[in-house]
């Protein structure tokens, strides 16, 4: 049984286009602006950077230079605050600098060394900020196929209470650290633990360990649950799984084969990554080739054709939540509808955003969309 809803919203789609000359620049910057409310960015730091870039150029070199400049300046502010003993200020600045480093490298080719440089600088700053969280953010490593998948365990407090725990998976270009600002703060606010890990095809696993994406995502997910269920502060009977963007494939796929998952959410639904993502949004084809370990378009198509819910969707017999926007230019909403229609679970919620929130990942309505998703987990995991 599917419950399809359009979240209450009387407003038309309104976007903040700091870069009206380039749709992709604008969309990715709205992704950054969406994180302002939870400390992932500062509105005026973004506006000043955009002003330096201007409204006419579409030169990715200028984009990289100016966002990298902002990242370095904010990181320096964080280090100065830390030296002065101002830990709160330092933590906040170091968090923001990570977001700006990630933003700076977004439009570079996968083999550009500045991508790795930005990643190392940004994640190093984020890790330093996490160390200033009074123990609420813990760095963890999960053994996997001769190496490790690295990330963070984020808790509401240090009581040691065994809590419902949600593994939050990112998409094609997200860093584990960014997920903290895309909803990762919402789970602890509702008395749940949340875990963000660089799984195959993402972050450090992709860049430095050549752990490429794979259709059988239950394999890395199960390895993570094997580690989490041994923790005293985790209630292993209340595991949730969520995925954003490409993670809208990863999470439901893993949940279909991992019995420890009690509820799963796809923040962007899909049926076939090949047709609903790779072919639908050509600007990310190089990224998808990279994360799948493909040498060219032909190989990527062969590999990504395996990322489908054909014969899989009906295996999901747990509560399923799907949300998608009607103006999503990155992932085709038709794939989300096809996925929902194929589900046989008797507990399916499908939120369709048709005004505010209708962009990819509802960046333009993030505070509402992230709240609805995490509230759903509260009800399904018995928090």
Secondary structure of residue 294 in the 3-state scheme: coil
Q: How close are the terminal C-alpha atoms of the chain, in Å?
A: 24
Out of 213, 245, 294, 358, pick the active-site residue: 245
With residue 324 as reference, give the H or E element that holds it: strand 320-325
- Give the number of other Cβ atoms within 10 Å of residue 41's Cβ: 26
Name residue 240's beta-bridge partners.
166, 263
**Residue 236 burial class via C-beta count within 10 angstroms: exposed 0-12, middle 13-18, buried 19 and up:** middle
Provide φ and ψ at 79, rounded to 5°. Answer: -65, -40
* Known catalytic residue at 245: yes
Inter-residue contact 192 to 166 (CB < 8 Å): yes
Inter-residue contact 319 to 263 (CB < 8 Å): yes
d(CA 215, CA 177): 23
Q: What is Dmax (Cα atoms) for the chain?
A: 58
Catalytically annotated residues:
245
């Amino acid at each position: 049984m599917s419950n399809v809803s359009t979240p209450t919203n009387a407003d038309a789609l309104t976007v903040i286009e700091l870069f009206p000359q380039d749709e992709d620049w604008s969309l990715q910057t709205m992704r950054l602006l969406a994180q302002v409310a939870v400390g992932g960015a500062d509105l005026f730091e973004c506006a000043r950077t955009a002003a330096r870039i201007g409204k006419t150029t579409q030169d990715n070199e200028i984009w990289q230079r100016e966002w990298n400049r902002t990242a370095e300046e904010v990181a320096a502010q964080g280090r100065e605050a830390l030296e002065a003993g101002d830990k709160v200020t330092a933590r906040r600045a170091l968090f923001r600098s990570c977001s700006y480093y990630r933003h700076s490298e977004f439009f570079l080719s996968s083999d550009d060394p500045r991508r790795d440089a930005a990643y190392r600088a940004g994640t190093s700053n984020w890790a330093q900020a996490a160390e200033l969280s009074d123990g609420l953010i813990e760095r963890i490593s999960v053994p996997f196929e001769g190496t490790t998948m690295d990330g963070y365990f984020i808790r509401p407090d240090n009581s040691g209470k065994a809590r419902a725990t949600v593994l939050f998976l990112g998409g094609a270009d997200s860093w584990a650290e960014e997920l903290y600002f895309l909803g990762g703060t919402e789970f602890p606010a509702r008395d749940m633990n949340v875990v963000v890990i660089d799984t195959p095809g993402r972050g450090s696993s992709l860049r430095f360990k050549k752990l490429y994406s794979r259709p059988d995502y239950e394999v890395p997910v199960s390895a993570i649950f094997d580690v989490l269920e041994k923790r005293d502060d985790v209630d292993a009977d209340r595991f949730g799984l969520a995925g954003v963007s490409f993670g809208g494939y990863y999470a439901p796929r893993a949940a279909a084969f991992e019995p420890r998952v009690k509820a799963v959410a796809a923040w962007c639904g899909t049926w076939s990554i090949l047709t609903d993502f790779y072919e639908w949004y050509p600007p990310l084809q190089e990224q998808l080739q990279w994360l799948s370990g493909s040498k060219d378009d032909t190989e990527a198509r062969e590999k990504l054709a395996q990322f489908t819910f054909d014969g899989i969707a009906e295996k999901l017999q747990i509560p399923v939540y799907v949300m998608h926007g009607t103006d999503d230019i990155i992932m085709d909403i038709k794939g989300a509808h096809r996925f929902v229609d194929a589900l046989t679970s008797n507990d399916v919620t499908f939120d369709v955003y048709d005004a505010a929130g209708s962009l990819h990942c509802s960046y333009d309505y993030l505070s509402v969309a992230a709240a609805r998703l995490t509230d759903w987990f509260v009800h399904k995991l018995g928090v």
